[in-house]
Structure 1
């Protein structure tokens, strides 16, 4: 996952303490102007290199997969990541990119300070050299003070994003939708042999289920997102709507489960209204939405693309085959039975 390996972001005070203490040690091993220059180079390199590493550890949001771009933006907005700009306030990924830009600026400024004061030290006596080195340290400290809030923002963003579930946009994905209690979790557990992970988004109240199964040597992701596609659009907040938008980039097919028996606690008409809304939403990207009648051993009183009963273990593999045909991913290989 692209955010999982992000390193801890140093705080401005911690970075400054580290740089100046290392500089002091390097200065003690030399004498005269050589000691002053060694301290300058050591401190400036530590700060500029650490700041550069902060920036380069992040992916380029201009080229990252749209799924992760939109999902990251939703997570960061939910986490309150924002910054003031001359034009007002920005939030989410735009705020993060702005702070990363400021950190890049700071790294370059500190390199320029190093070059400027190295030149001054070459033409100075020892007392003047000490003054130049102290001036350089003061300017480095001022720059770090100027980007202190940016480093804090980057650290907050890193903490919010690195725990996201490992969903891979380059693998075919089947998203499971439908009202609560229609059997989505049971279905995901069944087709993945319970080899799935439960992870969470900050904006969901239940864990997102992510499972995998193989069919004809191709690995498929199957994802249940409680709190997102289990209720009408007008009941979702802005962050949840944006997360659904991210899923539009990810999904290759959607399985919308309905329970015509009514055991789920939601009228069939309401379930079909939500199905229609989900179908319209994903149709803008050409993502097929299949209607699946679950608990078909109790009732088949609905027009559906597939009928199954997870509890009775009926029709599950047939549904998977239908879903894989809808995904239409990879080479045209004759279908085989689900690996068991």
Structure 2
């Protein structure tokens, strides 16, 4: 997952202490002007490299898959502590605000390098006492720059903590999203078709963890995803952030299995279930298949397929239908011809 291995972001005070303490050690190893130059070089390298490493560790949001872009934006906008603490900072607390903070860190790294060039020239034209004064001036100005981006470092750290545990969904692999009201058998279906212990991943918009499973057909790995708390109720009952999370799923899904319970044992009338199904069909630009579960109890609905997970009837047929609906064709290079 693109956010999983992001490194921790140092705080401004921590970064300044690290730079100046190592600079002091570097200076003790030398003497005279050489010691002052070594201290300046060490501090500048540590400060500029560390803030730039924070920036380069993040993916380029211009090229991030739309699924992860919208999901990250929704997560960060939902996280109230990420919203701008600085009235001068533009953005709504989402990806745009994060990108501005990363840009501010890039600016800080460049400013540190400029200061190094400015003061190294002064040092080389000075005696030892004057060089020491210039080096202390440079340290003070470098510390001031890092303190100017203190909020940006905190903001990037908060963003990293918010995003690092998102579900490991792979946009380059075919994905089948399972939808439908609660208690219609979605989780049981996912458990059955993956035949394994599925990952229950954190998803910041749902009351329960996302269930993410995998299965293979013809050596192709398919993802199958159940998102309780998002696709189990009408859009009118979702808030703006949850709607954006559903938009992210629209980028991900290659097919949707909408599971209904015609018997009504789930606690929701069939008419309401079909209204939610119709909403999904109008929103997702991929096949939305109506799957009647608990067919051993009732088949009184017009559906694309019928199954009973508890009785193990029709489940494999539903999975085959989903694979056909996805129609995934891997990019295989043509065989070489003489």
- Under a length normalisation based on structure 2, what TM-score does the superposition of the two structures give? 0.96
* RMSD between superposed Cα atoms in Å: 1.2
1:205 pairs with 2:204 = no
Find 1:271's aligned residue among 270, 273, 289. 273
Other structure's SS at 1:91 match? coil
Once the two structures are TM-superposed, the CA of residue 85 in structure 1 deviates from its matched residue by: 5.9
Find 1:281's aligned residue among 275, 280, 283. 283
Other structure's SS at 1:9 match? coil
Q: How many Å separate the matches in 2 of 1:92 and 1:194?
A: 36
Q: Closer, same or farther in 2 for the Cα pair 1:62/1:85, shift >3 Å?
A: farther
Once the two structures are TM-superposed, the CA of residue 203 in structure 1 deviates from its matched residue by: 1.9
1:37 pairs with 2:27 = no
Once the two structures are TM-superposed, the CA of residue 195 in structure 1 deviates from its matched residue by: 3.1
Corresponding residue of 1:336: none
1:181-203: CA deviations, max 9, x gaps?
00000000000013310011122
Q: Is the 8 A contact 2:178 2:256 kept in 1?
A: yes
Other structure's SS at 2:9 match? coil
Q: How many Å separate the matches in 1 of 2:74 and 2:20?
A: 39
Q: How many Å separate the matches in 2 of 1:204 and 1:210?
A: 14
Q: Is the 8 A contact 1:294 1:308 kept in 2?
A: yes
Find 2:130's aligned residue among 96, 114, 128. 128
1:43-80: CA deviations, max 9, x gaps?
01001000110000000001110000000011111112
Q: How many Å separate the matches in 1 of 2:9 and 2:18?
A: 14
Q: How many Å separate the matches in 2 of 1:294 and 1:3?
A: 36
Corresponding residue of 1:302: 301
Corresponding residue of 1:72: 72
Other structure's SS at 1:271 match? helix
Corresponding residue of 2:247: 245
Corresponding residue of 1:82: 83
Q: How many Å separate the matches in 1 of 2:83 and 2:95?
A: 9
Other structure's SS at 1:255 match? strand
Q: How many Å separate the matches in 2 of 1:257 and 1:157?
A: 35
Q: Is the 8 A contact 1:188 1:194 kept in 2?
A: no
Number of residue-to-residue matches in the alignment: 329
Other structure's SS at 1:90 match? coil
Corresponding residue of 2:104: 102
Q: How many Å separate the matches in 2 of 1:246 and 1:237?
A: 14
Q: How many Å separate the matches in 1 of 2:89 and 2:110?
A: 24
Q: How many Å separate the matches in 1 of 2:77 and 2:219?
A: 38
Q: How many Å separate the matches in 1 of 2:60 and 2:2?
A: 10
Q: Is the 8 A contact 2:89 2:97 kept in 1?
A: no
